[in-house]
Amino acid sequence: MKKNLFSNWYNSLLTVVFGAFILWVVYSLVKYLIGVDTEIIRVNLRLYMTGRFPSEQLARLWGAIYVATATVALFARATVRNAQMKATEAGLDFERSHWTDVVRRFWPIGALILFTLSFTQTITPTLLTLVAAAIGLAAYWLGGMMPKWLIHRSWIIVVAGLVGFYAVLVGFGGVGWDLWQGFFVNIVITVAGISLAFPLGLMLALGRRSTLPAVRVLSVTYIEFLRGVPMITLLLMGAFALGFLIPGDFQFSLFLRLLIAITLFQSAYIAEVVRGGLQSVPKGQIEAAQSVGLSPWKTMRLVVLPQALRNVIPAMVGQFISLFKDTTLVFIVGLLDLLRAVQISTAQPEFFAQGLEAVVLPFAALYFWVGSFVMSRESRRLEKKLGVGVR
């Protein structure tokens, strides 16, 4: 490959020109990074990560993080054991993945955590993060002792984890979700948005294919309307107009209204992705299922949907990444996410008029970049594992 760099005059010219350009870029970057003053990040790190979360309640936030870590570890273990049991039942060999594989998959996240910790001003966050890692490992090990019925119903773990997470944060006079801010809120909205929009989008896609014309027209109208408008307009609607639709004094919190707007918006896009998937399943599959006597619902659930969803994993994950990036739009309604937090910090009296936007904006970009990058890498891994485009 490298010999193509100078194989002919054309290539040589390109290489020289590009090479010079790239060297200049790298040089400017290095020069800039060496001279940059990261004081603003050090001082404002808590604002960036958690916004105005009351400092005396931070213990709750760490508690919630521990709950989340434990849940993920337990769920991972359950999945591995599930696959193991299925393999032994079918008499196949089970390949245990080595822990180095996990590291290779998620090293950007680990790097980002270390990077964040490098800006903390005390040793406490580092210690607390180590505790989180310890809890994760312990949960993974404990997962080895889970009873079989739990492994088969591993969704119980996820549900319990979600409930625990919420309870730790909000229960017993905790912090309501209007104060979930900073990068924390970007993540929460992404996870909540994906979980809520996916089933809704699925239903809409099925509705769009329905043989009942009324249902089909309604689904199409909804999807086309929501896909034609920018998300910002829906957020504006959520902030300004939704309150008028509810009679009387009952009030949804701003966070909830935003979540509703984001869910409605994303569900239309997910519906389109699923529709593409449904179209990609050969008709023969449905006919075969019918010939075996499966009801339409069973056909959909056991034959069509698994194939359809598998075929559109890249587009689906692409949509999730897009949701993650769109969480930055909540600035327009005053919700303080990571991007808005870094903007505010450059206007603080100690830091303003010093051109620090060029420091904090790339800093914020890093977080979004790592999240999106890891998601797309996982999607490619999943595609390869499930044989998308090959079978």
Partner 1 sequence: MKRPPFWRNIRVIRAALQIVAVAVVVGAFLYLGNNLRNELVAKGLPTDFSFLSQPTGVNIADSDFDPASPVWRALLVGIKNTFLLVIVGIPFLTILGTLIGVARLSTNWLVAKAAMVYVETLRNIPPLLIILFVFNAVILQLPPPRDPSTPLDWFVISNLKITGPGFAASSGAGALLAIALFAVLAAVIVGIWRTKYSETTGHHSHRVLWSLGVFVAIVLVGYFLTGRPVSMSFPDLDGRVITGGFGGLGSYFAVLIALVMYTASHVAEIVRGSIQAVPKGQTEAANAIALSGFQRLRYVILPQAFRIALPPIINQYLNFAKNTSLAIAIGFTEITLITFQAIGNGYPAPQLILLLMGAYLLFSLTISLLVNILNRRLQLVGN
Partner 2 sequence: MQEETPLKRLAILLLALGLVLAACDSGSDDTTTTAAAAGGDETTTTAAAAAGGSMLQTVQDRGTLNCGVNDAVPGFGYTDADGNFSGFDVDYCRAVAAAVLGDANAVTFRPLTAQQRFTALQSGEIDVLIRNTTFTSSRDGREGATFLTTTFYDGQGMMVYAEDGITSIDDMANLSVCVLSGTTTELNLAARFGDTPYTPLTFDANDQLQAAFVAGQCDGWTSDKSQLAGVRSNFPESEGGPEALVILDETFSKEPLGPVVTDGDTQWAQVVNWVVLATITAEEWDLTSANVASYDGDDAGIRRFLGLEIQTDEGATTFDPGLGLPTDFATQVISQVGNYGEIFDRNVGPDTALGLSRGVNALWTDGGLLYSPPYR
Query: Contacting partner 2 (CB under 8 A), which of 23, 240, 290, 365?
Result: 240
Query: Contacting partner 1 (CB under 8 A), which of 144, 244, 283, 353?
Result: 244
Provide the minimum distance between the beta carbon of 211 and partner 2 in the complex, in angstroms, as a whole number: 10
Query: Contacting partner 1 (CB under 8 A), which of 79, 120, 307, 343?
Result: 343
Contact assessment for residue 128 and residue 69, using Cβ atoms and an 8 Å cutoff: no
Per-residue binder mask for partner 1 (CB under 8 A), 302-321, x = binder: -------------------x
| 329 lies in the site for partner 1, by CB under 8 A | yes
Q: Report which of 384, 379, 360, 343 is spatially closest to residue 119, judged by C-alpha positions.
A: 360
| 357 lies in the site for partner 2, by CB under 8 A | yes
Contact assessment for residue 321 and residue 376, using Cβ atoms and an 8 Å cutoff: yes
| Calpha distance 331→317 (Å, rounded) | 24
* Per-residue CA distances from 99 to 102, 106, 118, 199, 218 (Å): 5, 11, 25, 33, 49
Binding site partner of 344, from partner 2, partner 1, none, Cβ cut-off 5-8 A by kind:
partner 2
Residue 143, C-beta contacts closer than 8 angstroms, at least 6 positions apart: 73, 74, 76, 77, 78, 81
Query: Contacting partner 1 (CB under 8 A), which of 76, 135, 328, 388?
Result: 328
Taking contact as CB under 8 A, which single stretch among the options 143-151, 286-294, 298-306, 328-336 is the one that binds partner 1? 328-336
Kindly tell me the burial class for residue 232, based on how many C-beta atoms sit within 10 Å of its own C-beta (0-12, 13-18, 19 or more). Answer: middle
Binding site partner of 26, from partner 1, partner 2, none, Cβ cut-off 5-8 A by kind:
none
Residue 266: enclosing H or E segment and its boundaries? Answer: helix 254-280
| 54 lies in the site for partner 2, by CB under 8 A | yes
* Per-residue CA distances from 343 to 19, 254, 360, 367, 371 (Å): 35, 21, 8, 15, 20
Look at the block and give the residue holding tokens 């996916």: 198
Q: Which two tokens stand for residue 15?
A: 């290489």
Helix spans in 9-98 (H): 9-35, 39-50, 58-89
Q: By C-beta, is 123 or 353 nearer to partner 2? A: 353
Binding site partner of 352, from partner 2, partner 1, none, Cβ cut-off 5-8 A by kind:
partner 2
Query: Contacting partner 2 (CB under 8 A), which of 36, 38, 84, 209?
Result: 209
Q: Which two tokens stand for residue 218?
A: 């309604």
Q: By C-beta, is 197 or 239 nearer to partner 2? A: 239
Q: By C-beta, is 11 or 348 nearer to partner 2? A: 348
As a 3-state breakdown, the chain gives helix, strand, coil percent values, each rounded to 5, of 80, 0, 20
Q: By C-beta, is 155 or 225 nearer to partner 1? A: 225
- CA 344 to mean position of chain CA atoms: 25
Q: By C-beta, is 199 or 243 nearer to partner 2? A: 243
| 333 lies in the site for partner 2, by CB under 8 A | yes
Q: Which two tokens stand for residue 166?
A: 């919420």
Site for partner 2, rule CB under 8 A:
43-44, 46-47, 51-55, 178-179, 209, 217, 220-221, 224-225, 228, 239-244, 249, 251, 254, 279, 332-334, 336, 343-344, 346-349, 352-354, 357
| Contact residues: partner 1, CB under 8 A | 1-2, 4-5, 7, 11, 14-15, 18-19, 21-22, 211-215, 218, 225, 227-233, 236-237, 240-241, 244-247, 321, 325-326, 328-329, 331-332, 339, 343, 357-358, 361-362, 364-365, 368-369, 371-373, 376
